[in-house]
Amino acid sequence: MKVKREMAKLSPILREVISQVFKKPATRRYPEVKPKVPAGLRGRQIFDITLCISCGLCARDCPAKAIEMVDVEGKMRPLFHLDRCIFCYQCAESCPRNAIKSSEIFELASTNKSDLVVKPKENSVSGGSQ
Amino acid sequence: MSLDLNFVFRVLVFPGFAFILLFTMFCDWVERKIEARMQNRMGPIYTGPVGVLQPLADFIKLLTKEDIVPFNAKNFVFRFAPIVSFSIFVFSFAFLPIDGASVVSGSNFEGDLILVLTLVSIANFLLFLSGWSSTNPYSAIGATRVLTQLLGYDIPLFILALAPAFLAGSLNIAAIANKQYVPFAFLIPWTFALFIINLQAELEKDPFDVPHAETEIVAGYETEYTGRRLAFLKLAKDVQMVLGAAIAVELFLGGPYGPIFYGLSAVWYTLWFVLKLLIVVVVTEYLTCIFARLRIDQVLVVNWKLLLPLALLSLAVTVGVGLWLNPL
Amino acid sequence: MASADKILKALSDSLGKRIIQTRTLQPGKSYIQVQTGAHKDAVRIVLQEDNEAGVSAITGVDLGETIELMYHIRTCDTIITIGAEVPKKDAKIESITDIFPGANFHEREVSDLFGVTFEGHPNPKRLILPEDWPENVFPLRKEVSVANIPSKIGNFGVSKDEKHVSSEERLVNIVLGPQHPALIEPEKFSLRVDGEIVREVEPRIGYVHRGIEKAAESRTYLQDIYLVERICGICNACHAACFCQTVEAIMGVSVPPRARYLRTIILELNRIHSHMLLLGHAGLEIGYETLFHYMWRDRELIMDIMEALTGNRVIASFITIGGVRRDLKEEDVPKIKAELTKLKERLSFYKNLFESDSTLKIRTRNVGVLSKQDALKLGVVGPVARGSGVNMDVRRDEPYAAYNEIPFNVITYDEGDSWARLMVRLDEVGESVNIIQYALDHLPTGPYRVRVPRTVPTGEAIGRVEAPRGELFYYVKSNGTAYPERVKVRTPTFANILSFVHIAEGGNVADVPASFVSLDPCFSCTDR
Amino acid sequence: MKWARLKSPWVLHFNSGACNACDIEVVALLTPRYDVERFGILLEPSPRHADILLTTGVVTRQCADRLKRIYEQMPEPKFVIAIGACACSGGVFEGNYNVIGGVDKVIPVDVYIPGCPPKPEAIIDGVVKLLKSIEGGEQSGKR
């Protein structure tokens, strides 16, 4: 096995490249195979309108000023600007009633900017469509 | 001269233009898939059955792109250099016997080996012109690097090609391919190895991938090209790859001639030719994957201080072995 | 190695009455305020006492009518700060570039943002602000607010790049331009090339300058953590850790042990992913795509661990003032350990590859050589310094988080070329894996976070962390409200960029990418 | 014709002042695990060869002109994808003095991908949505 020793001395890349050809490629075919996402992923927020006491703490603490308090049926509710949001979940932490929870939805790309603004009604737990 | 249908068919369709184009695209697909597999990823899948039509999709897309000619580029040369170099490469295919007989029957003559090699050099020179005529500093540097590399590997190319010609006793490619009862690659393996390394330099593959090194000079001589011209420039590059591999097959692996089992000989010859050519493509791809890119002055050192003397040495040894085998 | 108080004594008896006052910012960090002219002698004395010392950063603070300049000098495991005040009207001070060339960029930055002119500076050109920035508007001064700066929307005429006129005319001007496939980030290096040899290099940074130090002053401490983390996407855990440490030093809050261990784990994960990212990128720069693909494929193991631990692959947002935001669940530990052992085996393959691969060594061996004296003179930090034999590492010199309880060794190579710098990073990945495994075994139980009030008492503090690229330096000054008075960030690449100019000159044009990538430049860090 | 344009979208990446978190996710797309070459996507070095411009980062004053110049150099059927909260709207750095905030203030943008940084799968999802929108209506006319 002189060749084997000689190959090893040469450079490990020679053997590695050949062995890689016969191994299964490490590619995950994303659009067909949905990726397994860990539990705590910081994806899109899920806002529960029933728990919210419209105190505005989340809007005050948001580093990117992505939460705007909007009047919904008399009460002030947070409206999420997803294009400004940096998904740090400081709002979930500083919300006294933890009405904001994280979810694993991360496919948020959109062709026009307007549907990146998530209104409180449409985003609440009951109506969580997307 | 009456329009000889068989002649038109041979030139335009089978071993001629259409076959070469499709075969080049197939080789480009093989190359991309092999390189992807060597890097443990998948390569194109979604265009065509297994991504086979990917090079075709690239080509057509480039044809439909907007065509920009830089304002102070030298118009004439800028427009025609890619197409002319592409046509020269395809034209030099005419002399290689793909299915037993050369494309245009009776077109192989004594010395067509020298003609093919010079055609390759001229086409490469045109690539230099294409870079030089687009007045972008990056393509200027890329172009000068094409030239320096061209000078570096051209002479060893000729010398190495002479070795099999000497063994076969003739300068006619078809004759050389015919005389190889034992493929020269096994008879004079050192010349074959040097020829493959030289091929890497000619095709600007990885160890010698200096002219269009993305990291230093944006895209080398291709920087200013868009649309149709870029399509032909890339296709010229692919055809050159297939042509280089084809020359290696003709000179060292016995061309299309291989054992025929039954049925039409032309079919078997083409199959053998395609098979051998794919082997050479895989070998060059393997070399690309295991080497990092050398600096331009290191490439020159390798060309002039290493390839040239070794080529001369191998020619001398081949002549010695030849004379010792069957004295004149 | 002279000890800190010996240097202090030498300073006090040689300067005598020119010292206005001395006080200690934090235990072990002394601050000596001197008259304006005396700051150069003070710096010279400290540099003579300890030849391994270096000016770590120059901070400017706007005190109303005067601007206070602080020279933070890194010497024998601590920082000695020399302060000098300059009137705001005609702010002039003597430059120290002749005794410490490493301060060149620090001074140009302060002159850009504060308007202090440094007399005797070799080329006092604009470094960070864009070309079309109005004259004598200095953003970091208190009276300049964002509103009265002319906005640029609408007039995007192509600004004329100032031509770099070189002394000899026959040099070709190659611009390693803002948009360049090799460099992920925009910055411009105009190289004056004579044939294949680089004669002069003129770096032009500031393409990624987002004015973070000014923005930090208008946000609360809680919001500042997220702002500071986004200075650099690759080493973001280090920025968060350093900022939180400095604020905790001002407030006198001590972090529970479990939080200290969790911080160490996330910092080391960040180091591994940053080093592997660079080693792969180095492969791409020298045309070795296979190494790039293999290295980044193995890096995905680390990204999965970080995603499971912190919820995001890259920006961890894990460290906060008073501890960490999430707990490491017990059932995750064996999974992390399994992934780390898998990574360890791959490392042996890469080490063998870097040592025996011929073309890789041709492209990196004695390319971009930086000798130990030059490294000390230019004040480089991190793997760039350790690649030239300078034995410095903040994790050992001034342990923070849980580094005083975890055994690890500092790797140095003496060749000082690109290959040595890449090997330092490769070995450090191995070290980091050991650190994480040790930390996972000895993870103490208990709370992982301490509640912290929103306002910070008045005070100022200095924080240092060993980021993947080197020593990261923070200076925070608070005024009792919930908004910081001044946040100064000196990132490791800002200290290392000057060495690129030194390395590239005289070298080969084709070597520029190879030596450039071995410095691991991170321009979003440099420009802040 | 449109089949070819959909099957081989060549990509150019320009970072107009980002913290390079989004940039390393864009580069991670080429590596074995995500491997966008499956879709025929190649990272092209020169703007002349590219169809889609992937911009990341909050546009700083210095980068604004370069971004516009690169956009103009690209041949016609060209599209722009803004990646990350900074490119969509300025993200955390909105309101800083040296920041223009948002790529759409400089060049027209086709797809916005929020996230800080968006996962590589989210970027692929954005590219797939762009290709679907091209397949749907010929949108290149709305420059």
- List, as one string, the DSSP characters of C344-373: HHHHHHHHHHHHH-HHHHHHHTTSS---HH
Cross-chain Cβ contact C360/B216 below 8 Å: no
Yes or no: say if B183 and B139 are a contact pair by the CB < 8 Å rule: no
Report pLDDT digits (tens) over B18-32.
888 888 999 999 998
Q: For the CA atoms of chain D, what is the radius of gyration?
A: 14
Q: What is the amino acid identity at position C91?
A: A
Alpha helices in C365-456 (DSSP H): 372-378, 382-386, 394-397, 418-441
- Is C141's Cβ below 8 Å from some Cβ in D? no
Domain ranges across chain D: 14-134
Cross-chain Cβ contact D116/A88 below 8 Å: yes
Give the angle C225-C229-C233 at the CA atoms, nearest 5°. Answer: 170
Predicted local confidence at residue C242, as pLDDT: 92
Neighbours of A, requiring at least 3 CB pairs below 8 Å, are B, C, D
- List, as one string, the DSSP characters of B140-162: HHHHHHHHHHHHHHHHHHHHHHH
Please give the DSSP secondary-structure letter assigned to residue B259: -
Identify the sign of the CA torsion B288, B292, B294, B299: negative
What is the 3 state secondary structure string of chain D?
CHHHHHHCCCEEEEECCCCCHHHHHHHHCCCCCCCHHHHCCCECCCHHHCCEEEEECCCEHHHHHHHHHHHHHCCCCCEEEEEHHHHHHCHHHCCCCCECCCHHHCCCCCEEECCCCCCHHHHHHHHHHHHHHHHHCCHHHHC
Residue of chain D whose alpha carbon sits nearest to that of B217: D45
Cross-chain Cβ contact B290/A13 below 8 Å: yes
Predicted local confidence at residue C240, as pLDDT: 92
**CA–CA dist C352, C345 (Å, integer):** 11
- Is A42's Cβ below 8 Å from some Cβ in C? yes
What is the 3 state secondary structure string of C255-318?
CCHHHHHHHHHHHHHHHHHHHHHHHHHHHHHCCCHHHHHHHHHHHHHHHHHHHHHHCCCCCCCC
Q: What is the amino acid identity at position D119?
A: K
Structure tokens at C345: 């085996």
Instruction: Find residue C94's DSSP bridge partners.
Output: C119
- Is C151's Cβ below 8 Å from some Cβ in A? no
Ranges under pLDDT 70 in chain C: 1-2, 147-171, 177-184
CATH of domain D14-134: 3.40.50.12280
Cross-chain Cβ contact C214/D96 below 8 Å: yes
Predicted local confidence at residue C269, as pLDDT: 93
Is the preceding peptide bond at D117 cis, omega within 30 degrees of 0?
yes
- Is A33's Cβ below 8 Å from some Cβ in B? no
Neighbours of B, requiring at least 3 CB pairs below 8 Å, are A, C, D
Q: What is the amino acid identity at position A5?
A: R
Predicted local confidence at residue A128, as pLDDT: 36
Report pLDDT digits (tens) over B273-295.
888 899 999 999 888 888 888 88
* Residues above pLDDT 90, as percent of chain A: 0
**CA–CA dist D67, D15 (Å, integer):** 9
Report pLDDT digits (tens) over B218-246.
777 788 888 888 888 888 889 999 999 98
Out of B2-16, B108-122, C394-408, least confident range: B2-16
Confidence class for position A18, pLDDT limits 50, 70, 90: confident
Structure tokens at C496: 């290392």
Domain ranges across chain B: 64-325
**CA–CA dist C372, C3 (Å, integer):** 22
Instruction: Find residue C202's DSSP bridge partners.
Output: C190
Cross-chain Cβ contact B290/A25 below 8 Å: no
Yes or no: say if C275 and C429 are a contact pair by the CB < 8 Å rule: yes
The helix (run of H) or strand (run of E) holding residue B317 is: helix B308-325
Predicted local confidence at residue C37, as pLDDT: 79
Predicted local confidence at residue D123, as pLDDT: 92
Residue C521 vs residues C213, C281, C381: alpha-carbon distances, Å: 20, 11, 12
The verdict on domain A38-123 having CATH code 3.30.70.3270 is: yes
Using a CB-CB distance cutoff of 8 angstroms, which residues of chain C are in contact with residue B297? 196, 508, 510
For chain A, report the end-to-end CA distance as a whole number of angstroms.
Answer: 61
The verdict on domain C212-527 having CATH code 1.10.645.10 is: yes
Q: What's the gap in Å between the CA of B289 and the closest CA on chain D?
A: 15
Structure tokens at C288: 């070795």
Confidence class for position B216, pLDDT limits 50, 70, 90: low
Q: Shortest CB distance from B41 goes to which of A11, A13, A25?
A: A25
Instruction: Find residue D113's DSSP bridge partners.
Output: D83
Predicted local confidence at residue C164, as pLDDT: 43
ipTM score of the complex?
A: 0.89
* Residues above pLDDT 70, as percent of chain B: 94
**CA–CA dist B305, B310 (Å, integer):** 9
Confidence class for position B214, pLDDT limits 50, 70, 90: low
pLDDT at B95 exceeding the cut of 70 = yes
Yes or no: say if C291 and C360 are a contact pair by the CB < 8 Å rule: yes
- Is A10's Cβ below 8 Å from some Cβ in B? no
Identify the sign of the CA torsion B34, B35, B38, B41: negative
User: What is the third-level CATH fold of C4-144?
Assistant: Beta Polymerase; domain 2 (3.30.460)
Mean pLDDT in chain B? Answer: 83
Phi, psi of B274 (to 5 degrees): -65, -45
Cross-chain Cβ contact D62/C206 below 8 Å: yes
Using a CB-CB distance cutoff of 8 angstroms, which residues of chain B are in contact with residue D127? none
Higher pLDDT, B269 or A130: B269
- Is C192's Cβ below 8 Å from some Cβ in B? no
- Is D4's Cβ below 8 Å from some Cβ in B? yes
Q: What's the gap in Å between the CA of C297 and the closest CA on chain B?
A: 9
Predicted local confidence at residue A64, as pLDDT: 87
Please give the DSSP secondary-structure letter assigned to residue A124: B
Contacts of C441 (CB under 8 A, 6+ apart): none
Report pLDDT digits (tens) over B145-179.
888 888 888 888 888 888 888 888 788 888 887 77
pLDDT at D98 exceeding the cut of 70 = yes
Domain ranges across chain A: 38-123
Buried b (16+ CB within 10 A) or exposed e, C117-155: ebeebeebeebbbbeebeeeebbbbeebebeebeebeee
Angle, in degrees to the nearest 10, between helices B265-290 and B17-38 = 40
- List, as one string, the DSSP characters of C222-235: HHHHHHHHTT-STT
Residue D79 vs residues C164, D49, D121, D134: alpha-carbon distances, Å: 34, 13, 19, 10
**CA–CA dist B271, B262 (Å, integer):** 13
Q: What is the amino acid identity at position C392?
A: M
Predicted local confidence at residue C162, as pLDDT: 43
Using a CB-CB distance cutoff of 8 angstroms, which residues of chain C are in contact with residue D119? 313
Order of all β-strands in the sheet with C66-75? C19-26, C29-34, C78-87, C66-75, C54-62
- List, as one string, the DSSP characters of C148-201: GSPP-TT--PPPPPPP---SSTT-EEEEE-SS-TT-SS--EEEEEEETTEEEEE
**CA–CA dist B212, B202 (Å, integer):** 13
Using a CB-CB distance cutoff of 8 angstroms, which residues of chain D are in contact with residue A114? none
